[in-house]
């Protein structure tokens, strides 16, 4: 039987319960034979438990009103409304610009179009 | 596109707990959560498919890293001979990234892969950071007991 080396990473995974069952048994066997490592792992587990006991109740506390209002006023509606308003303003601006620039073309177009209008039937009839 | 408040609300208790691990003061911790929420909202349009909880925790870690080093008030308890150091006070003496690594794995119980993602490091780096952080926390918690152990035999010899 080969004895695989137990690394510090394995011990950390053991504390966080993220080891595969067979590896977990290996680590447990190793800890039975190494008192200082077992004491260390025990201390880390106690730390984690103490922290969970201290901070756990925060998770069940009522959320303060300030956070709740901040969350609800910070909804997704605000950016969408802003985008809509910006879109409408941009649309009006582009439309006005297009209208203004094409006005000159239209005016020029009507004066040039009249001889062109006359020429076209001639060309058409000559063909 | 999900509604921001509906998506964040279920994770709010967990975010507050993580913030409290970093700042013992309740109001300071809630300000940290609020700042995180504001940052999250600013990025909301571009993060449609990412995990809301992990993204929020990641932003909070970034905010905490930018803060000043451990609170100086933590040393008073030692100077005045208080024997027991609570886990939260001991935690406040660690570097922010060490504190985050312990909170994410032990309190938030995130898998190592996700905890590493939150801290923006590789899983291997997390497994190098975690033993250091846990060992340092153990030394801080056990320091008062060590001192009495050292003092004990010394005094007996003087008698």
Question: How many residues would you count in chain B?
Answer: 159
Q: How many domains does chain B have?
A: 2
Rounded Cα–Cα distance for residues B127 and A15 (Å): 12
Give the number of other CB atoms < 10 A from CB of residue A77: 12
What per-residue confidence (pLDDT) applies to B131?
A: 92
* Contact assignment for A71 to B8 by CB distance below 8 Å: yes
Predicted confidence (pLDDT) at residue A120 exceeds the cutoff of 60? no
Give me the domain span that covers residue B62.
Answer: 1-67
Q: How close, in Å, is residue B61 to chain A by CA atoms?
A: 17
Q: Which CA distances in Å does B122 have to B47, B114, B126, B128?
A: 21, 10, 6, 10
Q: Where are the extended beta strands (E) located within chain B?
A: none
Clarify whether residues B94 and B148 are in a common domain: yes
Clarify whether residues B61 and B79 are in a common domain: no
> Could you tell me the CATH number of the domain that includes residue B57?
1.20.140.160
State pLDDT tens for residues B82-132. Answer: 456 677 788 888 888 889 999 999 888 989 898 898 888 998 999 999 999
Q: How close, in Å, is residue B81 to chain A by CA atoms?
A: 21
Domain ranges for chain A, please list them. Answer: 1-59, 76-127
Rounded Cα–Cα distance for residues A103 and A124 (Å): 30
> pLDDT > 90: what percent of chain B?
10
- DSSP-based three-state secondary structure for A16: coil
* Contact assignment for B106 to A16 by CB distance below 8 Å: yes
Clarify whether residues B143 and B117 are in a common domain: yes
State pLDDT tens for residues A25-65. Answer: 988 988 888 888 898 899 899 889 988 888 888 878 777 77
What per-residue confidence (pLDDT) applies to A127?
A: 47
* Neighbouring C-alpha atoms within 13 Å toward the C-beta of B2: 15
Q: Which residues contact A8 (CB under 8 A, 6 or more apart)?
A: B127, B131
* Contact assignment for B135 to A61 by CB distance below 8 Å: no
**Residue in A11, A47, A72 nearest the CB of B87:** A47
**Residue in B4, B87, B105 nearest the CB of A50:** B87
Q: What are phi and psi of A122, to 5 degrees?
A: -65, -50
| pLDDT band at residue B140 under the 50/70/90 scheme | confident
* Contact assignment for B16 to A66 by CB distance below 8 Å: no
> pLDDT > 70: what percent of chain A?
75
Name the domain boundary from B49, B67, B85: B67
**Residue in A15, A64, A71 nearest the CB of B5:** A71
Both tokens of B142, joined, read 């056990």
Clarify whether residues B51 and B126 are in a common domain: no
Clarify whether residues B89 and B137 are in a common domain: yes
């Amino acid at each position: 039987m080969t004895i695989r080396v137990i690394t510090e990473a394995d011990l950390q995974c053991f504390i966080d319960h993220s080891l595969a069952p067979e590896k977990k048994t290996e680590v447990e066997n190793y800890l039975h034979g190494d008192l200082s490592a077992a004491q260390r792992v025990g201390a880390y587990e106690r730390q984690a438990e103490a922290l969970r006991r201290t901070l756990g109740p925060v998770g069940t506390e009522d959320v303060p009103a300030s956070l709740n209002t901040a969350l609800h006023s910070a909804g997704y509606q605000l950016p969408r409304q802003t985008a809509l308003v910006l879109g409408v303003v941009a649309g009006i601006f582009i439309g006005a610009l297009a209208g203004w620039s094409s006005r000159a073309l239209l005016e020029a177009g009507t004066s040039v179009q009249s001889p062109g209008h006359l020429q076209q039937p001639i060309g058409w009839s000559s063909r | 596109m999900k509604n921001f408040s509906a998506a964040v609300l279920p994770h709010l208790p967990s975010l507050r707990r993580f913030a409290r691990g970093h700042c013992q003061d309740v109001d300071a911790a809630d300000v940290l959560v609020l700042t995180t929420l504001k940052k999250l909202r600013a990025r909301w349009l571009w993060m449609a498919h990412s995990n809301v909880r992990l993204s929020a925790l990641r932003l909070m870690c970034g905010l905490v890293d930018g803060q000043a080093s451990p609170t100086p008030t933590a040393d008073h308890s030692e100077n005045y001979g208080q024997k027991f150091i609570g886990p939260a006070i001991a935690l406040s003496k660690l570097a922010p990234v060490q504190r985050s690594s312990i909170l994410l794995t032990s309190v938030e119980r995130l898998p190592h892969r996700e905890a590493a993602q939150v801290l923006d490091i590789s899983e291997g780096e997390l497994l190098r950071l975690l033993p250091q952080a846990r060992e340092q926390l153990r030394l801080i918690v056990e320091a008062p007991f060590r001192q009495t152990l050292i003092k004990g035999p010394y005094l007996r010899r003087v008698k």
